[in-house]
């Protein structure tokens, strides 16, 4: 259940996934709708981020194992508000962006084959079957 975290302040990130390279690129000047980063998969539009920064957690180390899933924290409200959180899921024939929540400031992410365990502000949550619910810490994690 390893997780690999990356906080990004850069203008461009490239993440190796099982569906191809995901690129996150800062837009030179924020667009009228607030978009600050474009996300592409294999060069095609995949998502947009609205915050001044973002962080991501992969389920693979991407150097040796490409990611099947990525958790993205989009800091829309800057440092004063918790980020919105999404999951990019590349395990399906058509990769998808799944919204997890709008007010989670993640401390830790743990992965299983079917679930994602998220720790935020001392509480544990499970994201499974496109739903987020409060849960117990995953096995091997101190309460």
Any idea where the domains of the chain sit in the sequence? 4-106
Ranking 43-47, 102-106, 137-141 by mean pLDDT, the lowest is: 137-141
Confidence of residue 140 (pLDDT cuts 50, 70, 90): low
CA distance 46 to 131: 21
Q: d(Cα 18, Cα 15) in Å, to the nearest integer?
A: 10
Of the pLDDT bands very low, low, confident and very high (cuts 50, 70, 90), residue 19 is very high
Tell me the mean pLDDT in the region 93-122. Answer: 92
Task: State the DSSP code for 119.
Answer: E
What pLDDT does residue 124 have?
95
- Whole-model pTM above 0.85? yes
Q: Which CB contacts under 8 angstroms, 24+ apart, belong to 107-115? A: 108/3, 109/3, 109/5, 109/57, 109/71, 110/1, 110/3, 110/138, 110/141, 111/1, 111/2, 111/3, 111/59, 111/69, 112/1, 112/138
| Average pLDDT over every residue of 101-108 | 88
């Amino acid at each position: 259940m390893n997780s690999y975290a990356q906080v990004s302040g850069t203008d461009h990130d490239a993440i190796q996934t099982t569906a191809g390279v995901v690129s996150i690129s800062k837009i030179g000047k924020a667009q009228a709708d607030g978009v600050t980063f474009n996300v592409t998969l294999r060069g095609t539009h995949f998502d947009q981020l609205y915050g001044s920064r973002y962080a991501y957690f992969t389920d693979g180390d991407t150097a040796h194992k490409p990611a099947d899933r990525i958790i993205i924290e989009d800091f829309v409200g800057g440092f004063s508000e918790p980020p919105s959180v999404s999951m990019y899921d590349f395990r399906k024939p058509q990769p998808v962006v799944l919204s997890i929540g709008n007010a989670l400031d993640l401390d830790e992410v743990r992965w299983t084959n079917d679930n994602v365990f998220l720790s935020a502000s001392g509480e544990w949550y499970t994201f499974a079957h496109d739903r987020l619910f409060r849960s117990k810490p995953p096995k091997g994690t101190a309460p």
